[in-house]
């Protein structure tokens, strides 16, 4: 691939769009060529994303698939679920690299229709872009970027599931409120969110299907359980994975298992202490720590990611890097904003 | 008992002491007679607890057990774990009502020594003051006030455990940082706590012993698991109880079970929506909501309390009310401070 | 007046309505008779205000002025600005006590029309219900409850202005976000509000007219300046009043001035340390502290109130108490929820 | 200067040290050669600064001035006030570039002794490293990095003061709590800081001397007033500058004044809307917005910076860039972490 690719973002007015731009503007191999938004076409990007002022003069455009194919080498779809499946068919096939941040191509068509309760128009299957589990992303042209919760939950449990050691998993996940998007709602209303932690969709969140799919691909579990919460934090997902083991394991066994499983994964950091969201804030890292409860043969694994970076836009760029032949860490090798 | 009792607080300089005073100053049957603090003796109480300015002229005193027995009808111990066992023997037996907010008398002596790693000097056993499970508090003179986490966790699971329906319980609890006390630490340092949720003692928190004891008293479970987190909130504990059921139950079954179990418990509110900490903030209520995960026969129960009220000082007053023959709700029948 | 009055709340679905109910339900001389809401008529009050569950079975009603006059002794209007002037004329004159929490009757008609840019239908003037400056509230039947910012700012400066000591005042006020109401907006969106302090209407906030009016009534200043900010807090207004003095004063002079001015005001507490919002949270107190900058003859006064209590609903009840012949502190004599 | 300089950090265990490392590790012309800490010598840097894990293997060292002079081309002092004056004389003169982040060399010796109440051992004067006012930093070898508050306040007022337009300035500043450092205190204790805004040192903060010095250098004002507050935010300083103008000015006049004054300053962004801390979080930008109060000839200017970046470590690197002949923006040209 050439040294510098032209990148476009379709649906760039929201948080993941803003985050893609923040990161791509500093990427050594990317020229940010295009950002589309139906509502904001014609406006300067930094009018909406004021943190980008001075760094770019880009203006939002209307989406024009022909222009995308002509001007871009790689394109990110940051559109709502259900929209990507209308756009992808107009883009695919021309050599353009596509990273879809929506849910449309993460599950099989049948599973998608069951979980999202809506018809799928496009039977195409993308590679699931959790690079740590899917190195086959390298060289691909169409990747479905994982959901935020599935990223944190799957990375927390993958080594143990892959080793066939666990039978029950309870993922108790806590997300910053940006996961709910840029539009104000009762959930994101400060007086409701501050001084609170709000569980929601206790047993019915759609991301469970992704977690199930990915862990199943590693051998599976008898029971995969997922309950999400929003916390008074802008960014971050901390997942407390309660993994019931079939047999006794030492902490040393587990450490070796994780070390080995993630030995080629620059963004997964196995930490000695318990992960904290501040250490990954704004970065593409996933920090993992754990402890064993000998009484009940329970392994408690904590994973921490930034939901907008490793849980969305950063991971999308990580995918792009591999798809385009760049180094996996290009443009992403920065520390978290701690404190 | 007389219409108005004289109350004392031993160790009144911390959060639970301040909270006891805030509540007792508005109690129709209580005269706040005494507040002790070694460090602050001689100082006006409102110098330390500035929110009480104008409401009381009380001064901190040195602890003098003789004075306590002479001047008080009821006394609250808000001292560190390990101190209460030195004080209680000097107070007990004179008709004085004692509510101990420390951990010293919550567990049997053997269990205490095992869990707290320290010798117990006083073999006496108190009634465990979780009124909803221990109505025998009524008329007692010595009560051990439950820990904050055990209050929320036990109330979340008790009806199901009492009915023998569950075999595994995972309590994933989230507490406001006041649970860590009035003294600054790295855990309570704003830059560490804000925009974070911090798991700690993933498998070894001492409150698990209380949860186990109380659920065991109701029939028990195969496996009781507890992992605490601190959240960026001043007050409140939200517990997500993942309860694996032995058999399928309908939501209607569960609702009836909880309604019936808590029918005489004014402070437990079964809510239709998911509990939120704001609704119980500053109040003695425990709000409970739930949902069933049909896939895995998992019942997710959410309980919300204010850790300093129902989880400490309010519950202590609820105990006092029953010990002294007042109405259970006297001085505590106020709404949460929402928003 | 009778020992127990029937109270109604018109427009009870918002924050000030909820707060009125929270407080009135514990008022020894009040029966909460009625709460109206166009949108929620027929619904249980605790469906909307979940913190009131168990404490009241009241249902929202449609507003019916005849019913209000028949069933209520006192009524609170918690309706948007511009609505009260349509309702008040239908209620007034029957002996009913009216406390209007909207802005409609706080200013003279001309000033109102200038500041709010809308026609006023009702030339009637109410007493301005800042009790500390307007003891004539006592016995009145129609009172305009002050705005939240004017309450904190005016109380901070009144003694100095009354003594004719200052010529320039800069009120730099910081408010919790509940001041913006119950409906989500970009301003109250957690990702915008958290980790931020947001100035707004830097020079044009409408509350300046109330501050000016009240300070003018005390003798006035050459220049009254006001800039509001929202802070990442649910409740509370902290005002930093920079008051430039015409002559040198000692801290002792100022202390005596404030002590004397507020000697009959139970809810104003002159504090030695710098006020903190936690000490007044949920209470009707206004805490005031100060320091003199000898270099520039600047007196810095800090006032702290809870915007929903002393800044709205609590102050309305304080007015009601005086209008109905109750003690000023009835139902309001509780400590702030600190921490 | 060579293309890549070796940089050292003396006193690297605190927030500004961590921030220097976060930024320097991504600087195209810097090799991070050394980080000293008395307490942590021998420990891996990422043990203390966990967000740097994976990005550096550096270990803390004891401070050895000889080694600093031999191994470093540029050194940053991130030590407490009063310590730098003992270290600088051991380093200076060897061609080593020194950026001192302490207060020791920001004021003249007399002023320093008056303000800090401590004897100064070293009469040397550094250039005051507010690049926007002191382009003479270019080519210097010893620079005193400005305080955080003075950076935001001075940049807010400089164009107006330089034009001789104002006579009174009131700087009402609001800082994130990291300004108080890495060690827990009552001020940084979460239950005290959350849901609060805490004024402190109402009239006596030592940073006022720097503001005065810098504005005086531009022509001065009759009266410079400064009152700081801490807000519930990790990072950021928002300053509300109330500037009383001697004559009427239009918004267009002011806009041209600021545009012109900052025309060569890449990190100062004049914004149309009111600045928000999120837009500068983690970045070296200073966002400035304003509004005129025609009634009182008051100009309200809002400036927003990240206290740890433009207010400390980022500005230090900006100074380094100019001292070493790099581009002013090298290593600092990244967007704020919004949201």
Candidates C148, C249, C286, C324; catalytic one: C148
| Residue B47 CB burial class (10 angstroms; 0-12, 13-18, ≥19) | middle
Compare B93 and A293 and report the one with higher pLDDT: A293
pLDDT higher than 70, residue B286: yes
Report the number of distinct structural domains present in chain C.
Answer: 2
The shortest CB-CB distance from C203 to any of D174, D235, D291 is to D291
Q: Rounded to a whole number, what is the distance in Å from the CA of D239 to chain C's nearest CA?
A: 10
Q: Is residue A336 part of a domain?
A: no
**Chain B contact present for C202, CB below 8 A:** no
Residue identified by tokens 């792009």 is: A320
Q: Is residue B138 part of a domain?
A: no
Provide CB contacts within 8 A for A277, sequence distance 6+. A176, A233, A235, A236, A238, A304, A306, B195, B196, B197
pLDDT higher than 70, residue D287: yes
Touching chains, B (3+ CB pairs < 8 A) = A, C, D
pLDDT higher than 90, residue D1: no
**Chain C contact present for D238, CB below 8 A:** yes
Q: Is residue A141 part of a domain?
A: no
What's the rounded Cα separation, in Å, for the pair D201 and D230?
Answer: 11
Same domain, yes or no, for C283 and C182? yes
Look at residue C2 in the predicted model and tell me its pLDDT: 78
The shortest CB-CB distance from C184 to any of A178, A185, A232 is to A185
Look at residue A2 in the predicted model and tell me its pLDDT: 78
Q: Rounded to a whole number, what is the distance in Å from the CA of C229 to chain A's nearest CA?
A: 15
pLDDT higher than 80, residue B1: no
Same domain, yes or no, for C117 and C167? no
CB B219 within 8 Å of CB B135: no
Same domain, yes or no, for C99 and C216? no
Residue C31, domain CATH: 3.40.50.720
Across the A:C interface, residue pairs with CB atoms under 8 Å apart total 49
HSE, side-chain direction, 13 A CA sphere, residue D90? 14
Encoded tokens for C279 = 């000490």
Backbone angles phi, psi at A128, to 5 degrees: -80, 115
Q: DSSP strand E in chain A: where?
A: 5-10, 30-36, 60-61, 74-77, 97-100, 127-128, 142-144, 166-175, 198-199, 223-230, 237-245, 268-270, 286-293, 298-305
CB C144 within 8 Å of CB C134: no
Contact C188 A186 (CB under 8 A): no
Give chain A positions within 8 Å (CB) of B174.
174, 197, 229
Q: Rounded to a whole number, what is the distance in Å from the CA of C301 to chain D's nearest CA?
A: 9
What's the rounded Cα separation, in Å, for the pair A326 and B78?
Answer: 61
Q: Mean pLDDT throughout B332-339?
A: 98
Picking from A94, A125, A156, the residue at the C-terminal end of a domain is: A125
Look at residue C1 in the predicted model and tell me its pLDDT: 61
What's the rounded Cα separation, in Å, for the pair A208 and A213?
Answer: 9
**Among chain D residues, CA nearest to B191:** D234
Look at residue B2 in the predicted model and tell me its pLDDT: 78
Closest Cα partner for B133 from B322, B330, B324? B322
Same domain, yes or no, for D220 and D107? no
Q: What proportion of chain D, given as a percentage, has pLDDT over 90? A: 97
Residue identified by tokens 């009120």 is: C171
How many residues make up chain C in this entry?
339
Provide CB contacts within 8 A for B142, sequence distance 6+. B88, B92, B97, B98, B100, B105, B124, B126, B127
Q: Is residue D322 part of a domain?
A: no
Contact B202 A176 (CB under 8 A): no
Same domain, yes or no, for A10 and A53? yes
Q: Is residue B332 part of a domain?
A: no
Q: Is residue D325 part of a domain?
A: no
**What global pTM score does this model have?**
0.98
What's the rounded Cα separation, in Å, for the pair B244 and B178?
Answer: 31
Candidates D148, D249, D286, D324; catalytic one: D148
Query: Range of B254's domain?
Result: 148-307
**Among chain A residues, CA nearest to B278:** A196
Residue A287, domain CATH: 3.30.360.10
Q: Mean pLDDT throughout B248-266?
A: 97
Element (H, E) at B142: strand B142-144
Look at residue A136 in the predicted model and tell me its pLDDT: 97
**Chain D contact present for A190, CB below 8 A:** no
Encoded tokens for C127 = 């007493």
What's the rounded Cα separation, in Å, for the pair C68 and C97?
Answer: 11
**Chain C contact present for D308, CB below 8 A:** no
Same domain, yes or no, for A277 and A177? yes
Same domain, yes or no, for D191 and D121? no
Look at residue B192 in the predicted model and tell me its pLDDT: 98
What's the rounded Cα separation, in Å, for the pair B153 and B147?
Answer: 10
Q: Is residue A327 part of a domain?
A: no
Same domain, yes or no, for A153 and A296? yes
Same domain, yes or no, for C57 and C108? yes
ipTM for the whole complex: 0.97
CA atoms B60, B62, B65, B66: torsion sign: negative
**Among chain A residues, CA nearest to D19:** A338
CA atoms B288, B291, B297, B302: torsion sign: negative
Q: Rounded to a whole number, what is the distance in Å from the CA of A205 to chain D's nearest CA?
A: 24
Q: Is residue D188 part of a domain?
A: yes
**Chain A contact present for B234, CB below 8 A:** yes
Q: Mean pLDDT throughout B220-248?
A: 97
Element (H, E) at C213: helix C207-217
**Residue ranges in chain A modelled with pLDDT below 70:** 1
Same domain, yes or no, for D25 and D56? yes
**Residue ranges in chain C modelled with pLDDT below 50:** none
Same domain, yes or no, for B113 and B206? no
Look at residue C235 in the predicted model and tell me its pLDDT: 98
Same domain, yes or no, for B112 and B226? no
Residues 62 through 91 of chain D touching chain A, CB cutoff 8 Å: none
């Amino acid at each position: 691939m050439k040294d510098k690719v032209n990148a476009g973002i379709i649906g760039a007015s929201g948080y993941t769009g803003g985050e893609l731009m923040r990161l791509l503007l500093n990427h050594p191999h990317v020229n940010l060529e295009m950002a589309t938004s139906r509502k904001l076409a014609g406006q300067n990007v930094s009018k909406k994303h004021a943190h980008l002022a001075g760094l770019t003069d880009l203006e939002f455009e209307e989406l024009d698939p022909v222009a995308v194919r002509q001007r871009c080498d790689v394109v990110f779809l940051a559109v709502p679920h259900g929209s990507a499946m209308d756009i992808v068919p107009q883009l695919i096939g021309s050599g353009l690299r596509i990273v879809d941040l929506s849910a449309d191509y993460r599950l099989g068509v049948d599973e998608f229709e069951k979980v999202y309760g809506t018809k799928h128009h496009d039977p195409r299957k993308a590679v699931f872009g959790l690079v740590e589990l899917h190195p086959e992303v390298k060289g691909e042209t169409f990747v479905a970027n994982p959901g935020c919760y599935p990223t944190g939950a799957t990375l927390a449990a993958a080594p143990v599931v892959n080793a066939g050691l666990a039978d029950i998993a309870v993922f108790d996940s806590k997300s910053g409120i940006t996961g709910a998007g840029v539009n104000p709602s009762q959930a994101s209303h400060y007086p409701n969110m501050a001084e609170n932690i709000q569980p929601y969709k206790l047993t019915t969140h759609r991301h469970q299907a992704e977690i199930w799919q990915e862990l199943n691909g590693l051998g599976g579990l008898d029971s995969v359980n997922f309950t999400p919460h929003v916390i008074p934090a802008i960014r971050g997902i901390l997942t407390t994975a309660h993994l019931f083991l079939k047999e006794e394991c030492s902490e040393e066994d587990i450490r070796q298992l994780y070390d080995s499983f993630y030995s080629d994964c620059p963004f997964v950091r196995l930490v000695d202490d318990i992960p904290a969201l501040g250490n990954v804030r704004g970065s593409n890292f996933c920090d993992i720590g754990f402890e064993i409860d000998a009484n009940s043969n329970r392994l408690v694994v904590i994973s921490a990611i930034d939901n907008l970076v490793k849980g969305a836009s950063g991971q999308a760029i990580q995918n792009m890097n591999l798809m385009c032949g760049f180094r996996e860490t290009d443009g992403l090798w920065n520390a978290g904003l701690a404190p």
